[in-house]
Chain A
């Protein structure tokens, strides 16, 4: 995998404001390896995921071995190496949501949108993921649609809420 990062052909455009954001973050953190996770957060917020050429850029700037960056990225659930879709539906499967029907919501999503957790629709409009617990247990079952928490959902409500987002 490390060779893939190093030999990534796609050069990054320095004019891209997102690159500037990442560069500024690295500068702020004094290019310390300590801040790698913080920098990856910034990059993922900017792109929605972590493209290989961006990882290569970070690797070079922080003077780290590619294996160090890749092993960190692959360890944490938050970081994704592929696009999560324009809109994301994050279904909480924490204990409270599980007890109150989170799996039913996932079945419904699979039935209506033909997407399983981890999949993105062919048009890149919608991505479905699961979360361990979003801490909104009082509102179980809950999902996070883009950045909004929707609670006490029924199967019907989830379809309507997703449709409202992607249309």
Chain B
């Protein structure tokens, strides 16, 4: 396929969709599948054929639509009516009422169990109203298993534009202009990273997509890979062109079999259509992607450990510098970005860096995907502009605390992050604001806790996680996390003393300052942030002991 063919195919795919009056999307993300959505899809397709509606209505499986705990979800377009908790029994009723009689069924509408008056157009619901989908755009609207569907939504046009109308310098300038920062957690400016890799002269360079989403409570990358894999492939190919790499690796967690399957399938389709491989779209640029499956080690989210794992070794980190941009995979200059970062590249090139940089806050541009979970009414996947307040996320989008409980804290950033207490509910969700509260943006996991959660237990839980996941290479992390865990356990069991608390605080500083990689350096964060915001809980456990 060359560039003109791409335009023709994309137009054809659009025409094909136009011939249908309605589209029914059945969410087939891992969450909805486990609630039975595949059965719903088959039954629905059968029902449409049996009623002779197949020329009028198309039924497709899609990726994640967002409200995961209300699944299986079925979306009816263009009305954008979403039905929740659909099972095979409801289907005939939905088709009859929605398609034949043009009357939505109120009792089955999304969030009908929460609102007295649910919304017929789901966009009016507070869950969707404040969202701005950029990385997740089209996820939930297209069939992730069909490249034609992606093409119908202008897929690979950005790659075509880049290859024929832009120099690598232009692409990097555009990304720099967008002020996009790495979505894996640390928030390093993406354009700068690309430029650094670009400047190193080497015959061989690599692009790696970090899909080792190890933070417990995070499923943004899984949803993007499952829901719109071609978007990530296109982003990686553009990155390859910009930095001068011809080979990419996507490192995906072994715990995500569906994401792996869909991503591998998407690579095959892209290759078959000349969108990956030799001389992409008839240009001089060649790029290929291989999938590497993670084997369950949290530390492999750290870039040097991830590289070791791709090389088939133990995933232990190396001291930096040299940074992977200089000496990464097989000792060559390597660009590593997170899944969500790659998913944001295509919209930036389609709409311009200027457009992206105007969204969000001055220091954190664009949008961020969060995985809402815990004691919250609507758990699931959301994407909001940077700077949206935690209060808006929890109480408007998330529908408040489950069971009418009281908000106690929100945990962001997983084992490297911290807990934000109720008094800081108005914090703007951006890199700097979260850091000033002792937490981090992290990859986007946001777990809401109510008054029943014991914050010492939360700190102990994360410390146990870091202790288990420490690779053992450096002493501060290997021994320090174990010592901190034992002290936390002692305090949690009511056997701690005030000296233990002092030692904990001291240790936290040592481990933070002296660990080799980010795992150890951030392991004390949950402890320090709970100590900062919930010190009285620690003290009450100690006092009990003295009495």
- Which residues of A are in contact with B by a Cβ distance under 8 Å? 32-38, 40-41, 68, 71-72, 75-79, 93-96, 98-100, 131-140, 142, 147-152
Q: Are A152 and B69 in contact (CB under 8 A)?
A: yes
Q: Are A137 and B379 in contact (CB under 8 A)?
A: yes
- Of A71, A93, A139, most buried by chain B (CB within 10 Å of CB) is A139
Q: Are A95 and B216 in contact (CB under 8 A)?
A: yes
Can you list 26 pairs linking A and B with CB atoms under 8 Å apart?
Answer: A32-B312, A34-B310, A36-B313, A37-B293, A41-B254, A41-B295, A72-B313, A78-B295, A79-B295, A95-B414, A95-B461, A96-B447, A99-B447, A100-B374, A135-B222, A136-B30, A136-B31, A137-B374, A137-B445, A137-B447, A138-B372, A138-B373, A138-B380, A149-B31, A149-B34, A151-B35
Q: Are A77 and B34 in contact (CB under 8 A)?
A: no
**Given A41-B293, A139-B35, does the pair A99, B375 have CB atoms closer than 8 Å?**
yes
Interface residues of B in 188-247 (CB under 8 A from A): 213-219, 222
Residues of B within 8 A of A95 (CB): 216-217, 373-374, 411, 414, 445, 447, 461
Q: Are B309 and A99 in contact (CB under 8 A)?
A: no
Q: How far is the CA of A54 from the CA of B355 in the complex (A)?
A: 55
**In the complex, B168 has a CB within 8 A of chain A:** no
Interface residues of B in 283-342 (CB under 8 A from A): 292-298, 309-316
Q: How far is the CA of A68 from the CA of B310 in the complex (A)?
A: 15
Q: Are B216 and A37 in contact (CB under 8 A)?
A: no
Scoring B residues 264 to 298 as 1 if CB is less than 8 Å from chain A, else 0, what string do you get?
A: 00000000000000000000000000001111111
Q: Are B296 and A77 in contact (CB under 8 A)?
A: yes
- Which residues of B are in contact with A by a Cβ distance under 8 Å? 30-31, 33-35, 67-69, 71, 213-219, 222, 253-257, 292-298, 309-316, 371-375, 379-381, 411, 414, 445, 447, 449, 453, 461, 465, 469, 471
Distance of B43 from chain A, by nearest CB (Å): 19
Residues of B within 8 A of A96 (CB): 216-217, 373-374, 379, 447
Distance of A71 from chain B, by nearest CB (Å): 6
Q: How far is the CA of A140 from the CA of B255 in the complex (A)?
A: 16
A133 to B, closest residue via Cβ: B216
B291 to A, closest residue via Cβ: A38
**Given A78-B296, A100-B374, A133-B215, does the pair A37, B309 have CB atoms closer than 8 Å?**
yes
Question: Which are the 10 A-B pairs with shortest beta-carbon distances?
Answer: A138-B68, A94-B216, A77-B296, A149-B34, A76-B295, A36-B312, A96-B373, A137-B373, A133-B216, A135-B219
Distance of A22 from chain B, by nearest CB (Å): 15
Residues of B within 8 A of A34 (CB): 310-312
Q: Are A98 and B255 in contact (CB under 8 A)?
A: no
Distance of A101 from chain B, by nearest CB (Å): 11
Q: Are B295 and A132 in contact (CB under 8 A)?
A: no
Q: Are A133 and B296 in contact (CB under 8 A)?
A: no
**Given A95-B373, A95-B374, A149-B33, does the pair A132, B313 have CB atoms closer than 8 Å?**
no
Q: How far is the CA of A110 from the CA of B234 in the complex (A)?
A: 47
Q: Are B296 and A76 in contact (CB under 8 A)?
A: yes
Q: Are A37 and B453 in contact (CB under 8 A)?
A: no
Q: Are A136 and B314 in contact (CB under 8 A)?
A: no
Q: How far is the CA of A136 from the CA of B217 in the complex (A)?
A: 8
Q: How far is the CA of A94 from the CA of B462 in the complex (A)?
A: 10
Q: Are A35 and B312 in contact (CB under 8 A)?
A: yes
Residues of A within 8 A of B312 (CB): 32-38, 72
Residues of B within 8 A of A33 (CB): 311-312
Distance of A102 from chain B, by nearest CB (Å): 10
Q: Are B297 and A76 in contact (CB under 8 A)?
A: yes
Q: How far is the CA of A37 from the CA of B219 in the complex (A)?
A: 24
Residues of B within 8 A of A68 (CB): 313
Distance of B130 from chain A, by nearest CB (Å): 19
Q: Are A77 and B379 in contact (CB under 8 A)?
A: no
Q: How far is the CA of A131 from the CA of B298 in the complex (A)?
A: 11
Residues of A within 8 A of B371 (CB): 137-138
Residues of A within 8 A of B313 (CB): 36, 68, 72
- Of A79, A99, A149, most buried by chain B (CB within 10 Å of CB) is A99
Q: Are A138 and B414 in contact (CB under 8 A)?
A: no
Residues of A within 8 A of B217 (CB): 94-96, 133, 137
Distance of B131 from chain A, by nearest CB (Å): 16
A138 to B, closest residue via Cβ: B68
Residues of A within 8 A of B34 (CB): 136, 139, 142, 148-151
Residues of A within 8 A of B373 (CB): 95-96, 137-138, 140
Residues of A within 8 A of B253 (CB): 135
Q: How far is the CA of A140 from the CA of B368 in the complex (A)?
A: 23
**Given A37-B292, A137-B219, does the pair A132, B254 have CB atoms closer than 8 Å?**
no
Distance of A138 from chain B, by nearest CB (Å): 3
Q: How far is the CA of A67 from the CA of B148 in the complex (A)?
A: 47
Given contacts A36-B312, A137-B374, 14 further A-B contacts (CB under 8 A): A38-B293, A68-B313, A72-B312, A77-B297, A94-B216, A95-B217, A95-B461, A133-B215, A135-B255, A136-B31, A138-B67, A139-B68, A147-B257, A151-B31
Distance of A140 from chain B, by nearest CB (Å): 6
Residues of B within 8 A of A149 (CB): 30-31, 33-34
Q: How far is the CA of A40 from the CA of B313 in the complex (A)?
A: 12
Distance of B15 from chain A, by nearest CB (Å): 36
Residues of B within 8 A of A142 (CB): 34
Q: Are A135 and B69 in contact (CB under 8 A)?
A: no
Residues of B within 8 A of A71 (CB): 314
**Given A78-B296, A139-B69, A151-B34, does the pair A132, B219 have CB atoms closer than 8 Å?**
no
Q: How far is the CA of A68 from the CA of B371 in the complex (A)?
A: 38
Residues of B within 8 A of A151 (CB): 31, 34-35
